[in-house]
Amino acid sequence: MDMKFIDAEDEQQILRLYALYCHAFNHGEAEAWAGLFAPDGSFTRLNAGATQHGNFGNPAGTTRGTANLVELAKGRREMFKGLVRHQQTDMVIEPGTDRDHARGKSFILVTDWRDGPGRLAAVGDCDAEFVRTPEGWRFASITLSTLPRASAQPAPSSQPSSAKAG
């Protein structure tokens, strides 16, 4: 892990982006959630959720572009019935290739309240690429891997950069 820092104001804006990601997704604001991504931004799940462990069984794959991200969020909202909460924790922001790009790492926790008392439904590793746009910082890509993973599958941060591309 790199100990280099980005400008403090930029880091604050990116941390706010992470928070807005969870708020918009949790409250069914699909357009607002997709608007947190660059127009060609992508969301990638490296592995399918393990339904045998009580997970949702979300499929692996990549969704790219605003319209497709809106549809992804709407579909998950219907599936979760608004009773699932996503949290991102332990965010680490690092410089990217230039001052208009940055990288982030975080953990994601998902709790499921659909059957009454909440339960931890998923835990995972999240890698993000950020880009500064005229509207401010946006996600260029998010790559997510949930536990349990197949024994040969590494966490996203240990993927070669070509494998992380959404």
Q: What is the pLDDT of residues 110-126, one digit of tens each?
A: 888 888 888 888 899 99
**pTM value?**
0.82
Parse the chain into domains and list their residue ranges. Answer: 8-147
- The label of the residue with tokens 């918009």 reads 24
Q: What are phi and psi of 73, to 5 degrees?
A: -65, -40
CATH 3.30.1330.10 fits 8-147, yes or no: no
Q: What is the pLDDT of residues 70-100, one digit of tens each?
A: 999 887 766 667 788 889 999 999 999 999 9
Would you tell me how many other CB atoms lie within 10 Å of the CB of residue 118?
13
**Paired sense of beta strands 136-146 and 37-45, if any:** parallel
Q: What is the pLDDT of residues 22-41, one digit of tens each?
A: 999 988 899 999 999 999 99
Edge-to-edge strands, sheet with 136-146 = 61-64, 37-45, 136-146, 119-133, 101-112, 84-95
